[in-house]
Chain A
Amino acid sequence: MAVSVQLQNLVKVFGATRAVDHITLTIEPGELFFLLGPSGCGKTTLLRCIAGFNEPDDGTILIGDRNVTRLPPHQRDTGMVFQSYALWPHMTVAQNVAFGLEMRKLSKSETARRVEDALAMVKMSDRAAHKPNQLSGGQQQRVALARALVIHPQCLLLDEPLSNLDAKLRLEMRTEIRRICKEAGLTAIYVTHDQKEALSVADRLAVLNGGVVEQCGPPREVYQRPVSMFAASFIGETNFIYGILERTGDQTGTVKTDFGSFSSAAVAKGLNSGDRVVLSLRPETLKLGDAPADAPNKLQGAVHDTIYLGEVAQHQVRVGGENGPNLKVFDLNPRIIARDGVEQASVWVDPQDAVVLPADGKAAPE
């Protein structure tokens, strides 16, 4: 039932900007795939190309083995959940949900049965006769989801479906959406700018920037092994340290910086000895305190500012002397708190967590 969605060399130009710039992606059958990026990165444009609301200037879109590139939206058999929900205010909840089935000329009884099932799935059965404006935001969101799901689309498209909900509801709905998609075995493409949403729900995600795919992979891989400075800084937080690479193995190498050298076991592909590179160190991978004697990549640091958040403290640590850079360090169950003065401490990091990236990344370094 579930089918794949393939985008081949897709291009969409608006005036002088390339909203989608030669994007090639394959979304596997039954996969929950996320398009993640800042506003203006082209993720919504890409989704609207798949739905048929934007006509690509070049490239091919395959849903299953059907080439839908030039097909009008109503013949594509996708179910879309709009950011604004786009529930028709002149129809009841049940009529909204039944609309797609009517278009598919299903029998009255079959339509009624499926509408009932769909509303039950999103727990909205008791609101069937209400008009959309009588529902809360979360309820409208669930109706929009039911309306898209009830037609058993070949592919579910979600355009920032949770962005209009409050934080608590957002948490609740994102697990709900994953449950529903997995139960129905749907291929789903989900657009968001919320990295937590993407990391927690996605099977795989693509980080978009300026109309191109910066990186594509499972959440953990994208987070732990970013391939560009943009990918590293857009998802989660990170510290960048510039240096020169000396390769020692397939994934290993040493980076010489102004205040010592770092050994890394996570050197990105395509980098050679002598390249100007950047080290990406996640704040939570940096360790702080009295370093054991064999601690790798050890630096002397001065903790000069701490934001205490209870379970975690966010430190600002100056390394490499007076004029050295500041590193952000997250310390779970913190022991050191720098409030009124400076605390001296060691900082070290496992080579596995010292990711080496090409320094010509498009993102502006901090």
Chain B
Amino acid sequence: MRKQSAWIMFTLSMAVFLIGLIFPLILVIRNGFVTPDGQLTFRYLIGVFENPIYLEGLRNSLRLAIGTTLTATLFSLPLAWLSNRYNFFGKGFVNALVLVPMILPPFVGAIGFQQILGQYGVLNALLGLDVDWLGRGRWVGVILLQSLALYPIMYLNISAALANIDHAMDEAAENLGATGFTKFRRITLPLMTPGIFAGGTIVFIWSFTELGTPLIMNYTRVASVQVFDALKEIGGNPFPFALVVVMLTVSVSLYALSKYFFGGKAYAMQSKAATTFKETRLTGIKGLLALLPFVLVITLALLPHLGVILTSFTAPGGWYQSVLPDVFTTDNYIEALGHSMTVRSIRNSLIFSLLAVFFNLILGIGIAFVVVRSTIKVRGLLDALAMMPLAVPGLVMATGYLAFSSYLANEVFRDNPALQGIFDVRTNPTVFLVMAYGIRRLPYMVRSAVAGLQQTSAGLEEAAANLGAPPLVSLRRVTLPLITANLIAGALLAFAFSMLEVSDSLMLAQREDFYPITKTIYELFQLIGTGKYIASALGVWAMVFLAVTIVGSSLLLGKKMGALFRV
């Protein structure tokens, strides 16, 4: 890549990051530390730590995050290990299925979850009990739901770490007399620690700030819900901003620590595993025993969504103190898909997500080119910035975009109604939702494009240039066709996550005309009576749509589904 075009792309990307990532965060920090008359103050921050309600919220958020990370590790570690060492009947199938929960929105699952664990739900009907499972231990339910949705991230990271362990290291341990658990504890576990921490960090940050699941589970005493509620109040309450700064600090420090201690190279093998493990073939009972944990985890993970599916086919009030719904109906779908609000929300989500993916593709390819193919020294900075959105929780970004929108509408374009209308989320959130979806999913896009370029020798592009192809022709004819699979994988992931994005959608979409699917599901859910059932129907529709998209594209690509998510 020529220096000049590398610099142009670098400047462009930096501008995007400054506008879409850094500036909103600065506004959050400003709102949390500067009084309306421009004085620096720590009053708000101290206020957060003096307010017992906020303190409880933070404590609960931490508890959710730690609980979710541990539970997700518990789910994924045995599965990853089994899959790495053994081969058994049905492995390929469960290996793909085990990742499915990643695209099932946990906050939709929460609806079904309550149907199963509620006081008048399936479990009680099955056991003949009358226990309010979700009453006092609501947080346990949230942890379970979140870990069942997030364990695939751990699974992928641990699997990758395991795949990189050279068989010779294991054999060396055995040769020196370590076997069984000793070998696992002294050799295998330390070698896969970077993978566990990489995945754990993402899961921790995610669950620490997760908004949708606690909201639907009606677990309101967590920081994320407190911020959400407080920001709905009119009149610039500074405390939620200070609270968000606290959450941002926790997330970013954790990310930085994890990067510092395990940043890829800490335990990097001298080379890629020269001799990978030869999978041991398990047959008969042993094979079934190996399959069992997979089936258990997958069933558990799909159960809430099964609840959603059943709910969506239930006539309102028709699933009460019984194992299965008493009255089945398809009315919910007819109503959901006939409802102007839902149809519009589907269209909105499609528009926002497709736009976001479009910008992601352009930006992702550009950034990947600078990172992989250019020699400018600052490319490392660009790479780090492109990964930053992983460290900044959606809730924090959403808060930042709210502040950004109000800054543009009330300060910059105060005298220009047209521009004010475009940038004020209260009138039209399109700009900020696309920005939010795009920036937050950019890491996936950049990772896949970088991986693609790294696998593609620069010589192939040089050959094209040598034969007379100008840079853009070489890009179109040689580079893009060669990294198509990577781009589709990245784009699909970005698209799926955008369609089901929760925090930004709930906080930024404030006018019904512009509600995306997730916000509509949330609003419908709150309707007394039929709301829950229509919300489920819309949730099922969204899941089916995504499943068809992803499975369809993976078939087109001729790749196993799992490969799509190994970003």
Q: Which A positions have Cβ atoms within 8 angstroms of B?
A: 51-53, 55, 72-80, 82-84, 86-90, 99-100, 103-104, 147-148, 151, 157
Contact = CB atoms under 8 A, between A and B. Distances in A.
Contact of B467 (A55, A90, A103): A103
Interface stretch (B306-314, B325-333, B469-477): B469-477
B462 interface: yes
Nearest to A78: B466
A255 B465 CA distance: 55
B481 interface: yes
Q: Which 3 A-B pairs have the closest CB atoms?
A: A100-B467, A103-B468, A86-B459
A147 B469 CA distance: 13
B457 A84 contact: yes
Size bin of chain B's contact surface: 20 to 34
Nearest to B470: A74
Contacts of B470: 72, 74
14 contacts: A51-B466, A72-B2, A73-B462, A73-B466, A74-B464, A74-B467, A74-B469, A74-B470, A77-B468, A80-B463, A82-B462, A86-B460, A86-B463, A148-B466
Contacts of B451: none
A99 B459 contact: no
B485 to A, nearest CB: 11
A69 B237 CA distance: 62
B467 A88 contact: no
B466 A80 contact: yes
Given A72-B2, A88-B478, A90-B481, A151 B467 contact: yes
B459 A79 contact: no
Contacts of B3: 55
Secondary structure of the A contact surface, majority rule: loop
Contacts of A73: 462, 465-466
Contacts of A89: 482
Interface in B360-390: none
Contact of A90 (B459, B462, B465, B482): B482
Contacts of B468: 74-75, 77, 100, 103-104, 151
A140 B346 CA distance: 51
Contact of B466 (A55, A79, A104): A79
Contact of A53 (B462, B471, B481, B482): B462
Nearest to B464: A99
Contacts of A52: 465-466
Given A88-B482, A148-B466, 6 more contacts: A53-B465, A74-B464, A82-B459, A84-B459, A86-B459, A87-B463
B462 A72 contact: no
A49 to B, nearest CB: 13
B482 A82 contact: no
Contacts of A53: 462, 465
A75 B478 CA distance: 18
A78 B463 CA distance: 10
Contacts of A86: 457, 459-460, 462-463
Contacts of B482: 88-90
Nearest to A99: B467
Contacts of A88: 460, 463-464, 478, 482
A83 B481 CA distance: 22
Contacts of B462: 51, 53, 73, 80, 82, 86
A230 B482 CA distance: 44
Contacts of A147: 463, 467
Interface in B1-21: 2-3
Contacts of A74: 464-471, 474
Interface string B441-465: 0000000000000000101101111
Nearest to A97: B467
Interface string B48-70: 00000000000000000000000
A17 to B, nearest CB: 15
Contacts of A84: 457, 459
Contacts of B466: 51-52, 73-74, 76, 78-80, 148, 157
Nearest to A14: B375
Most A Cβ at <10 Å: residue of B2, B466, B477: B466
B267 to A, nearest CB: 29
Residue with the highest number of chain A CB atoms closer than 10 Å, among B471, B477, B482: B477
Nearest to A157: B466
Nearest to B484: A90
Nearest to B479: A88
Nearest to A53: B462
Interface string B1-43: 0110000000000000000000000000000000000000000
Contacts of A79: 466-467
A19 to B, nearest CB: 14
A87 B2 CA distance: 22
A246 to B, nearest CB: 54
A227 B468 CA distance: 40
Nearest to A159: B459
Contacts of A80: 462-463, 466
A82 B463 contact: yes
Contacts of B463: 80, 82, 86-88, 147
Contacts of B467: 74, 79, 99-100, 103, 147-148, 151
A151 B473 CA distance: 17
A76 B465 CA distance: 9
A238 B474 CA distance: 48
B509 to A, nearest CB: 41
A87 B482 CA distance: 12
A74 B2 CA distance: 12
B377 to A, nearest CB: 11
B8 to A, nearest CB: 15
Contacts of B477: 99
Nearest to B3: A55
B469 A99 contact: yes
Pick the most buried of B459, B467, B468, B470: most chain A CB atoms within 10 A of its CB: B467
Nearest to A104: B468
A86 B474 CA distance: 13
Most chain B CB inside 10 Å of its own CB: which residue of A79, A80, A88, A157 = A88
Contacts of B478: 88
A78 B459 CA distance: 15
A174 to B, nearest CB: 22
Interface in B472-514: 473-474, 477-478, 481-482
Contacts of B459: 82-84, 86
A103 B469 contact: yes
A151 B469 CA distance: 12
A79 B473 CA distance: 18
B491 to A, nearest CB: 19
A78 B465 CA distance: 10
A162 B465 CA distance: 22
Of A53, A74, A84, the most chain B CB neighbours within 10 A belong to A74
A263 B391 CA distance: 78
Contacts of A100: 467-468
A52 B474 CA distance: 15
Contacts of B464: 74, 88, 99
Nearest to B375: A14
A88 B457 CA distance: 10
Contacts of B473: 103
B458 to A, nearest CB: 9
B556 to A, nearest CB: 16
A242 B349 CA distance: 84
Contact of A72 (B457, B460, B465, B481): B465
B455 to A, nearest CB: 11
Nearest to B465: A73
A52 B478 CA distance: 19
A72 B2 CA distance: 9
Interface string B326-343: 000000000000000000
A75 B473 CA distance: 13
Contacts of A157: 466
A194 to B, nearest CB: 20
A53 B457 CA distance: 14
